[in-house]
């Protein structure tokens, strides 16, 4: 079975992971589901084996899901974007793995639950799986996944953005489990949600996101410098949690600017959800 899951970008968020029930854990926040994601193929095997982007990997979210369910299989995942740069590739891998494993056996939201649980327990994300299950430009108003989590959508005309990522990644777990960063994120994230909900526009989302980025201090000097230059051509923000930026406006000029610093790609908002690509391998 082969499945595809889109990725997910978060502009700002606030941690909500103190519930006992994993289905209620997650985050509030604003972001978008994107057309770049992960494709996963599952094959029967006598042992657990995970291949990610052509390399055999240990301690992956896919392995966690296999051990969680007591299944042995060979899982091959290809991601369109790097892991640990804020593009939701870990969540996309989890969702596509879950769908591949249980297509025709469990419901869509049972598969989403398994992926969400794996993300939460591994510490690789909080709200990406929930957003992926919804699609579009997402507003996470209540943490967790359905029926507890609630996500609204912002309807916008623009659907193409330019992203940049530098070579040094930021591991999500190292941030959301560090007490000082947690305090900053919760305080700044709650304020960000309040400011955004007063004016639910794309432009305001990016303005609020830049303020959030400054308050939590996750961007290095170079990323801040690039953001300042990018403002000459449109709106820009750091991607959470990554050494990366997303921008829109004069996309040709933004792309040219970003190419002088790192890896660049154009992406689009993805309104459709994850699903099966091929039933028979």
DSSP state of 239: P
Q: Which residues are CB-contacts of 116 (< 8 A; sequence separation ≥ 6)?
A: 22, 23, 26, 94, 129, 130, 145
Cα angle 249-34-266, degrees, rounded to a multiple of 5? 45
The answer to whether 92 touches 81, Cβ cutoff 8 Å, is: no
What is the spatial distance between Cα 151 and Cα 149, in angstroms, rounded to a whole number? 7
Q: Extract the tokens encoding 168.
A: 């040094």
Q: Extract the tokens encoding 166.
A: 């530098």
The answer to whether 13 touches 240, Cβ cutoff 8 Å, is: yes
Q: Which helix (H) or strand (E) holds 165?
A: strand 160-165
> Which residues of the chain are modeled with pLDDT < 70?
279-281
The answer to whether 79 touches 93, Cβ cutoff 8 Å, is: yes
Cis peptide, bond prior to residue 275, ω within 30 of zero: no
Q: Extract the tokens encoding 4.
A: 């595809």
pLDDT at res. 281? 46
pLDDT at res. 128? 97
The answer to whether 33 touches 138, Cβ cutoff 8 Å, is: yes
Structural domains in the chain, sorted by start: 1-281 (3.30.230.120)
What is the spatial distance between Cα 120 and Cα 59, in angstroms, rounded to a whole number? 15
The answer to whether 27 touches 54, Cβ cutoff 8 Å, is: no
Global confidence as pTM? 0.95
pLDDT at res. 280? 53
């Amino acid at each position: 079975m082969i499945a595809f899951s889109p990725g997910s970008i978060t502009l700002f968020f606030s941690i909500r992971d103190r519930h006992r029930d994993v289905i209620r854990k997650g985050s509030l926040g604003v972001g978008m589901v994107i057309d770049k994601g992960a494709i996963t193929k599952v094959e029967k095997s006598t042992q657990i084996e995970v291949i990610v982007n052509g390399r055999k990997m240990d301690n992956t979210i896919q392995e966690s899901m296999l051990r969680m369910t007591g299944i042995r299989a060979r899982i091959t995942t290809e991601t369109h974007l790097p892991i640990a740069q804020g593009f939701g590739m870990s969540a996309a891998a989890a969702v596509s793995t879950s769908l591949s494993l249980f297509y025709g056996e469990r419901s869509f939201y049972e598969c989403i639950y398994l992926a969400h649980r794996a993300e939460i327990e591994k510490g690789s994300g909080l709200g990406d799986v929930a957003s992926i299950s919804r699609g579009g430009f997402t507003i996470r108003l209540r943490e967790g996944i359905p029926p507890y989590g609630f996500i609204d959508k912002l309807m916008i005309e623009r659907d193409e953005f330019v992203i940049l990522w530098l070579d040094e990644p930021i591991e999500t777990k190292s941030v959301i489990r560090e007490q000082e960063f947690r305090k900053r994120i919760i305080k700044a994230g709650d304020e960000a949600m309040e400011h955004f909900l007063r004016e639910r526009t794309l432009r305001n989302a990016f303005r609020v996101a830049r303020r959030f980025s400054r308050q939590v201090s996750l961007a290095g000097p170079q990323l801040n410098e690039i953001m300042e230059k990018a403002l000459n051509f449109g709106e820009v923000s750091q991607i959470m949690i990554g050494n990366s930026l997303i921008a829109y406006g004069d996309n040709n000029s933004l792309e040219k600017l970003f190419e002088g610093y790192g890896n660049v790609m154009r992406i689009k908002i993805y309104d459709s959800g994850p699903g099966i690509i091929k039933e028979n391998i």
